[in-house]
Each structure stands twice: as C-alpha cells, then as structure tokens.
Chain A
C-alpha cells in the first residue's frame, strides 16, 4: 500500500511549522524524546514557540550525543511544564536567563497537564481540578466548591503540532511505543491538529497486530524513520548510558550501589 505519510527528511518533516506554533513535545530527559525532530526545529530556528512538555531539564549531553527539549529554550516564548530543572542541582536556575528575556514559564502538575491535554482531545472547555488547591497554582484561577470540596478551574490544551518518539509505525501511521517511551505521546497525538512521529522502524501495514496498536493512524500525519546515524538510536542510547556511568553523580542517581540489598 502506498503511504503518503512517510517522509524521508527531518528538515522537510517540520518545514511547515510556523513561528509562534504551540508544540507538544513529550520528554523524560532523553527518554521518550523526539530528538531528531527537535534538532530539525533548532536548525530551522522557528521562533516564538509555545512548548508543552512534562519535563524541562538542562541539557546534559553534547548536541551530537543527544538533544533535549531545553535545546529549544532560545526559540521559546512560553513553556508549560511540570518539572523545570532538577531539584538537587538547583531546580530551574537554567531557565532564569530566558525568563529575564521574556520567556513565560507556566508551572503545572503532571497529572494536571495530561488532564488538560485530555480536555483538549475531547473538546472539553475546561474542568474543575482538586489538585493545586491551597498552593501557588491557585493564582489567577477560578475556585469553586462542588459538594463541599474545593476545585480550581483548568483550561484545556490544544496543540498545533505534536512531535512524537515511537518505536514502530506501520505505513498507515499506526504507532506502538517501547517501554516508558510511551510517555504522554498518545494524549499529545490526539490533542494536536498535526502530528509528526519519528520512529525506530517503519513496517508494512499488518505487521503490527491491530489489538496492539496504541496510537491510531488517524492521529498521525507524518512519519519518519530515524536513520542509523540519527539521534536516539539503540546504539546512541547505549553510548549515553556509558557516558553517564562515568559521571559519578549521574551514576549514583541512576544506579544503586552494590552495598545495598533488596530492590
């Protein structure tokens, strides 16, 4: 079957994203991150972006090794995120310079962010959220008591574009993910007007069991296979682990010491 969703070039894949676009990019440091699409957006220099992401943490690798959402900070007008920085490394200090230059940072909780995307998916005009009551997240939000409990009004999030990192796509654009790389990608694909997915492998329609498909092709507009020399390949990810293993604070964060027992 001929697919018109397959794209061969990352620069071409993002070529129609305009300045000022609202883009969902899920990310957990380098995991679940559509690195090659981010790199293409950086190359093109699309600006005034609103980025919706769960985790915005500082770049910990050289850009030839791995690229993270924070590489786009100079191109952002606004970011909506639940994690900004790493607590014991001075949370969020790396965005201060950008904030002084006008970057708007909207903090939220992970659960609230994914609920706002869900509302965006379903065309729900907003919802009353129990999370955040009594916290700094109350600021500027309508508070309402329903059946004796306090809630804050949260608006939906719709995305102009979602950038996705999936494991396999079939030629219809159906996606499956691997491990925790699924992240919030399924919700982001549905909340977006246009979805571009980079994948480890593109397979023929029928090669993925219909029952196992996680994201349906109707939500995926463009797919592109990560080339062997691309970012985020199995080999590159293995290298990153070795690099981190040589940095003591990173190793201590990611691995347990042999001295400890149990889990």
Chain B
C-alpha cells in the first residue's frame, strides 16, 4: 500500500514543468512557479517582464562575481545572456505578455471553480501592493497553469466556489497543479485528471470546496 503523502514543492514544480515542451515560450511567476525552471526541458524559451526573452541560465550563489545588474529577471535573479536572447523595452514586453503566445505558470492563493485567480493579496489589511504584471499575464497568456498547495496552512481549501481574496483576473486559469492533484478547469466543471499517490477522489474532494468531476482517464500523478 502506498503511503499518503502530500507532494513537496519540488515535485509540484516537476509536474508543472511537464506541461512545457521545447519551443514553448514561458513566463514563470515568483515562488513555486520559479522552481519549475529546474525541471523544464532544454529548448523552452523564457520571458521576463523587465524585457528579456530567451535568456540563459540563472547564476549560482558562488558566481556573484559574474553578476551584472544589466542582466536579471523580474524577480531580481541574475542570469547569463544566451545566444538568441533578445532585449526590449517594457512596452514590448507587455505586448508579448498580452499576445496570447506565452504559457504562464503562476502561483495562487485561491482559484475558483470558474477559473478565477487570486494571487496578489490576501486583502487582510496588510497593505498588498505587488500587482506587478500578474494581471496582465493572467489575462494575456495562451495558457495559465497554477501551481499551489491544495489547502492553506490552516487546512482551508484553496480551490473554492468564489475567491474571497482580491482577484487577479476572472476565468483565466486552465490547469491547477497542487500537492494532491492535477485539475483542469473546463467551461462546465473542474475535471480531476490526476491524483497524488495514495490519495482517493474522496480524499481530494474533501479538501476542495466545489465539486470535482473525476476524469474518465483519471490516473496517478505522473512525473
């Protein structure tokens, strides 16, 4: 019998990375989504809001001497220029973001059954202010993949009927990848496609507010 574990953040990232293939253009959000970069196949072309496409690998802690403020991503992580990289202004960068050509992997606080995304503020009085480019990415991407933990630290579902946190964008999420499941947002319902090893449909449903429809080809999460 398989023991029932929540997948750790690296494994969520690994699963999300499988959604990208060489030749895809991708933007990775802060936090968990940025971990996906570790597992994404060679040939995926990365975009950064501050004006770079196709940049090289990120610098490591012991490569500080190689860092140059002229080459870092939107999160402030230094990268190496790479052959084929292009540099542009913010206006062009958001033309790319809003063009429907990027696949966007984003973090989330809540996702609703209609695919509404809340990921920038808990709206609890602590002044939330980092809207950044998230609303643009959520609206403009070809595909929005959300990576997040299935429930909050307090055990509340993050997949909800209606988001209680301030929205990033309405009806924008296509796929939700959590530490328990892979769920596709369809126009009619949430389709449960994959489950973490050892978990059942009922287990996942119990931690999800809206009803999940189990896919006909429901399977164990594959990495």
Binding site for B on A (CB under 8 A): 26, 28-32, 54, 81-87, 90-93, 95-96, 105, 107-112, 114-115, 117-118, 130-137, 178-187, 214, 237, 240-242, 245, 251-258, 260-263
User: Which one of B37, B74, B78, B98 lies within 8 Å of A254 (CB-CB)?
Assistant: B78
A180 contacts B70, C-beta separation under 8 Å? yes
B90: CB under 8 A from chain A?
A: yes
B129 contacts A262, C-beta separation under 8 Å? no
CA–CA, A5 to B198, complex, Å?
A: 71
CA–CA, A258 to B166, complex, Å?
A: 37
Closest beta carbon of chain B to A168's beta carbon, Å: 13
B204: CB under 8 A from chain A?
A: no
Q: From DSSP, what is the main secondary structure of chain A's interface residues?
A: mixed
**A262 and B39 in contact, given A107-B129, A180-B70, A255-B60 (Cβ under 8 angstroms):** yes
B97 contacts A111, C-beta separation under 8 Å? yes
Closest beta carbon of chain B to A236's beta carbon, Å: 10
B91: CB under 8 A from chain A?
A: yes
A110 contacts B38, C-beta separation under 8 Å? no
User: Which one of B40, B61, B94, B129 lies within 8 Å of A92 (CB-CB)?
Assistant: B129
CA–CA, A183 to B90, complex, Å?
A: 5
**A108 and B131 in contact, given A180-B51, A245-B64 (Cβ under 8 angstroms):** yes
Q: From DSSP, what is the main secondary structure of chain B's interface residues?
A: loop
**A135 and B166 in contact, given A254-B76, A263-B57 (Cβ under 8 angstroms):** yes
Q: In the complex, given contacts A111-B133, A254-B67, A262-B38, what are 4 additional A-B residue pairs having Cβ atoms less than 8 angstroms apart?
A: A110-B90, A130-B139, A132-B135, A262-B57
A109 contacts B71, C-beta separation under 8 Å? no
Question: Closest 5 CB pairs between A and B?
Answer: A179-B70, A84-B129, A92-B129, A111-B136, A111-B94
Q: Which of B149-157, B167-175, B187-195 contacts A (4 or more CB under 8 A)?
A: B167-175
Contacts of B128 in A (CB 8 A): 91-92
Binding site for A on B (CB under 8 A): 30, 37-40, 46, 48-52, 57-64, 67-72, 74-78, 81, 87-91, 94, 97-98, 116, 121, 126-136, 139-140, 166-170
Some 7 contacts from A to B, beta carbons below 8 A apart, are A109-B132, A180-B72, A182-B87, A183-B51, A241-B64, A255-B58, A262-B40
Q: Which of B59, B69, B134, B136 has the most CB of A within 10 A?
A: B69
**A133 and B127 in contact, given A111-B94, A112-B136, A256-B60 (Cβ under 8 angstroms):** no
CA–CA, A91 to B72, complex, Å?
A: 21
B135 contacts A241, C-beta separation under 8 Å? no
CA–CA, A185 to B90, complex, Å?
A: 8
B69 contacts A255, C-beta separation under 8 Å? no
**A181 and B170 in contact, given A91-B130, A254-B78 (Cβ under 8 angstroms):** no
Q: Which of A108, A132, A135, A251 has the most CB of B within 10 A?
A: A135
A253 contacts B130, C-beta separation under 8 Å? no
Contacts of B116 in A (CB 8 A): 134
User: Which one of A29, A82, A132, A137 lies within 8 Å of B76 (CB-CB)?
Assistant: A29
**A184 and B89 in contact, given A84-B130, A253-B75, A262-B39 (Cβ under 8 angstroms):** yes
CA–CA, A114 to B51, complex, Å?
A: 13
Contacts of A111 in B (CB 8 A): 94, 97-98, 133, 135-136, 140
A114 contacts B90, C-beta separation under 8 Å? yes
CA–CA, A251 to B132, complex, Å?
A: 22
Contacts of B97 in A (CB 8 A): 111
User: Which one of A93, A109, A178, A184 lies within 8 Å of B131 (CB-CB)?
Assistant: A109
